[in-house]
């Protein structure tokens, strides 16, 4: 205790009396007095403002979320409605005419034979650029290069369309003739009518106004009398070779064309 008192006395002796008068000691106590009325009002106003800001931010977040969900639902509804509309309006071409007849033999006045093959568009809108590749089961015939719908563009923006075909209106039929090299001769026709197996096959492809492309294959076997009709027995897929862009000459210079979608979108 005496050491502590000596330290305090020495400390007091080392302090300048003028500095002690200028900076009097302050008691180290916390004020427990309540805030004044103005400070209390400012505090309550700040709390209320903070709450309003939080509530406003939450409302904006909720509104943004609801708007985004509504926009997504509207887009999904529009997409499904458009898909249903396209499905109901697009063309649908199949083998056979309105009565279901696939093909038939026709004999001309000179005795030659022809085979006509029927197609029917059950859709409401036309099938555009209808192209067929037809053959038969006759042996020894060489397949020629198949025709397919193709479109190319040059770097300057011009568009070239290969193999444009006829337009098949909605709910309309179309007739195509088997190429002569695949058609039986009169003597072969007699053997076919007495039971010799004979089939026809091929592919058919077309576009629609929505820019969609379709290609299908088929095989149909002839049934001799008393049936005397062709019956479809297979629908193989339509194999498409990759498009080979041609080289065109523009103002004396060779320009490599660029392959673009086979069908042009007409209706939006």
Site of tokens 């037809």: 134
Closest by Cα among 90, 116, 65, 104 to 214 = 90
| CA dist list (Å): 95 to 9, 77, 98, 121, 221 | 121, 34, 10, 9, 13
Same domain, 82 and 179: no
Gyration radius of the chain over CA positions:
45
Same domain, 210 and 122: yes
pLDDT above 90: residue 207: yes
Same domain, 220 and 102: yes
CATH code of the domain covering residue 119: 2.60.40
What would the pLDDT profile of 216-268 be if each residue is shown by its tens digit?
999 999 999 999 999 999 889 898 888 888 887 767 778 888 889 999 988 76
Same domain, 164 and 77: no
Domain that holds residue 196: 93-260
Which two three-digit tokens encode residue 203? 């592919």
Quickly list DSSP for 137-153: S-TTPPPPPPP--EEEE
Of the listed ranges 2-16, 36-50, 70-84, the one predicted with least confidence: 2-16
Contact 107, 113 (CB under 8 A): yes
In a domain, 265, yes or no: no
Q: Which has more pLDDT, 177 or 65?
A: 177
What would the pLDDT profile of 102-151 be if each residue is shown by its tens digit?
999 999 888 899 999 999 999 999 999 999 999 999 998 988 888 999 99
What's the total number of domains in the chain?
Answer: 2
Predicted TM-score (pTM) of the model is: 0.66
In a domain, 237, yes or no: yes
Same domain, 240 and 204: yes
Sign of the C-alpha dihedral, residues 184, 188, 194, 199? Answer: negative
Q: What is the average pLDDT value for the chain, to the nearest integer? A: 82
Residue 117 to residue 97: CA distance in whole angstroms: 9
In a domain, 152, yes or no: yes
Q: Which has more pLDDT, 75 or 33?
A: 75
What would the pLDDT profile of 156-185 be if each residue is shown by its tens digit?
777 777 777 899 999 999 999 999 999 999
Same domain, 127 and 99: yes
Count, residues in the chain? 268
- Report the pLDDT value the prediction gives residue 164, as an integer from 0 to 100: 78
In a domain, 220, yes or no: yes
Contact 104, 176 (CB under 8 A): no
In a domain, 34, yes or no: no
User: Which of 89, 112, 143 is the last residue in one of the domains?
Assistant: 89
Q: Which has more pLDDT, 89 or 134?
A: 134
In a domain, 33, yes or no: no
Same domain, 143 and 255: yes
Quickly list DSSP for 1-49: -HHHHHHHHHHHHTS-HHHHHHS---------PPPPHHHHHHHHHHHHH
Same domain, 142 and 180: yes
- Report the pLDDT value the prediction gives residue 9, as an integer from 0 to 100: 47
Q: Which has more pLDDT, 156 or 89?
A: 89
pLDDT band of residue 79 (cuts 50, 70, 90) is low
Same domain, 196 and 126: yes
Same domain, 163 and 98: yes
Same domain, 54 and 127: no
Same domain, 75 and 183: no
């Amino acid at each position: 205790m005496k050491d502590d008192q000596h330290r305090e006395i020495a400390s007091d002796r080392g302090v300048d009396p003028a500095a002690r008068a200028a900076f009097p000691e302050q008691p180290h106590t916390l004020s427990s007095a309540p805030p004044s009325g103005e400070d209390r009002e400012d505090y309550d106003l700040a709390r209320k403002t903070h709450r309003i800001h939080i509530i406003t931010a939450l409302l904006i977040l909720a509104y943004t979320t609801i708007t985004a969900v509504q926009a997504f639902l509207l887009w999904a509804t529009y997409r499904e409605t458009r898909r249903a509309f396209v499905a109901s309006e697009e063309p649908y071409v199949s083998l056979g005419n309105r009565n279901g007849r696939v093909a038939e033999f026709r004999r001309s006045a000179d005795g030659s034979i022809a085979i006509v093959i029927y197609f029917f568009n059950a859709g409401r809108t036309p099938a555009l650029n209808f192209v067929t590749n037809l053959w038969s089961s006759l042996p020894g015939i060489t397949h020629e290069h198949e025709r397919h719908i193709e479109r190319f563009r040059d770097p300057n923006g011009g568009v070239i369309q290969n193999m444009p075909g006829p337009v098949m209106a909605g709910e309309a039929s179309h007739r195509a003739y088997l190429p002569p090299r695949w058609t039986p001769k009169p003597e072969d026709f007699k053997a076919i009518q007495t039971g010799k197996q004979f089939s026809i096959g091929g592919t058919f492809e077309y576009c629609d106004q929505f820019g969609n492309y379709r290609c299908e294959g088929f095989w149909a076997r002839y049934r001799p009398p008393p049936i005397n009709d062709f019956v479809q027995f297979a629908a193989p897929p339509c194999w498409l070779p990759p498009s080979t862009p041609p080289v065109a000459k523009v103002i004396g210079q060779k320009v490599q064309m660029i392959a673009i979608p086979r069908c042009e979108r007409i209706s939006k």
